[in-house]
Copies of this chain bind each other. A is one copy, B any other.
Amino acid sequence: MVSTLSPDDRTQVLHELPAEVTQQLMDLLPSDDLAEARTLLGYPEESVGRLMTPDYVAVQPAWTVERAFAHVRDVGIDSETINRVYVITADGVLVDDLQLRKLILAEPEQTVQDVMDGSFVSASAFADREEAVRLIKRYDVTALPLLDSEGVLVGIVTVDDLLDVAEQEATEDFHRVGSVEPIRGSLQDASTWRLYRSRIGWLLVLVFINIFSGEGIAYFEDTIMAVVALVFFLPLLIDSAGNAGSQAATLMVRALATGDVKMKDWFSLVGKELGVAVMLGATMALAVSVLGWYRGGVDVAVVVAMTMVCVVIVGSLVGMSLPFLLNRFNLDPATASAPLVTSIADISGVLIYFSLATWYLGV
């Protein structure tokens, strides 16, 4: 072994490099490192295969416990975890995983077959990294064996590597919810230009969405000229719609990401959200109607209160449904960012507010 990097370090380094560079690097690697790098790089970017290590202990069913244990001693020194030993056929197909303690406690002359229970958790090496996080959590294991399409054991992924993945994925979702294109790596090291690019796209999209709010206001110019006091409540009402919507979107985005909520739950959740939104809208209408009375008289107070109930309901339903809709079209639900939901809620807020005002005040 010529390289001074540990297998972990090497894998890490390879993940962070562009394709041209990895190719050049691979040409320089000694042949046994090369084999490992090639195998790892054959898997798609977000797949768990990219995180796997080939350093595990595998034994065969026909072996005696004594032979299996000797094998553990021989190769265990390089393996990531020896809590579990994997049982494979001569063709490499995974047939069981054994806790090492089972081998330790078995009689030396028993065969591996005798102590097998035939139940194991595994994942495809092509599976999404998030899927592997879910499996490892559900089954409370510290490592997950990874198989190719033929069921052959190709490597394992350990929980400590997945801990990093879970944190990275959460950070990406955080950034998306804040309508920032995910910034990989440290914020400290990101250049001004990199930060600009990650933020300008969404800001411009939101500017153009907000133009519709302006157009809505332009349409109701006569109403505004007649009762200018209505403008006082505009930021309050459209922000409330946006805030209720952001809350609903945030709850759904995270629940979808952690697997707490599934696509099929939308219908039952929409009923609950309606109930919550009506209660929220009524409480907030009560709070602002006093101010409405003081600023613009009883008629304005009624319009503001009615609008508040309506916009909180519309905002909440938009906010909770948008993540599902995006997921349906195979987009990341976290794209339903607070700013996007706010901007959509604003447009409906402007239309609802001035429509109600025009109708109720008869201007």
Binding site for B on A (CB under 8 A): 8, 72-73, 76-77, 81-83, 100-101, 104-105, 133, 136-137, 140-142, 158-160, 162-164, 166-167, 170-171, 173-175, 177-180, 183, 186-188, 192, 195-196, 199-200, 202-204, 206-208, 210-211, 213-215, 217-218, 221, 224-225, 228, 231-236, 238-240, 242-244, 246-247, 249-255, 258, 260-261, 265, 269, 272, 275-276, 279-280, 283-284, 287-288, 291, 295, 312, 338-339, 342-343, 346, 350
Across-interface contacts of A254 in B (CB, < 8 A): 171, 174-175
Closest to A281 in B: B203
Given known pairs A177-B178, A180-B250, the reply for A291 and B258 (CB within 8 Å) is no
The answer to whether A240 and B342 touch across the interface, beta carbons within 8 angstroms, is no
| Min distance, Cβ A177 to any Cβ of chain B, angstroms | 7
Bound form: Cα–Cα A82–B81 in Å: 10
Q: Could you pull out 11 A-B pairs where Cβ atoms are within 8 angstroms?
A: A179-B246, A180-B251, A188-B261, A203-B283, A203-B284, A213-B239, A217-B235, A234-B234, A338-B338, A338-B339, A339-B342
Bound form: Cα–Cα A350–B295 in Å: 18
Across-interface contacts of A196 in B (CB, < 8 A): 276, 279-280
Given known pairs A166-B167, A186-B260, A196-B276, the reply for A203 and B240 (CB within 8 Å) is yes
- Taking a contact as CB atoms closer than 8 A, the residue among B137, B213, B249, B288 that contacts A236 in the complex is B213
The answer to whether B258 and A167 touch across the interface, beta carbons within 8 angstroms, is yes
DSSP majority for the A interface?
helix
| Min distance, Cβ A154 to any Cβ of chain B, angstroms | 22
- How many copies of the polypeptide does the oligomer hold? 2
The answer to whether A207 and B261 touch across the interface, beta carbons within 8 angstroms, is no
| Min distance, Cβ A199 to any Cβ of chain B, angstroms | 5
The answer to whether A240 and B72 touch across the interface, beta carbons within 8 angstroms, is no
Across-interface contacts of A133 in B (CB, < 8 A): 163
- Taking a contact as CB atoms closer than 8 A, the residue among B200, B206, B243 that contacts A202 in the complex is B243
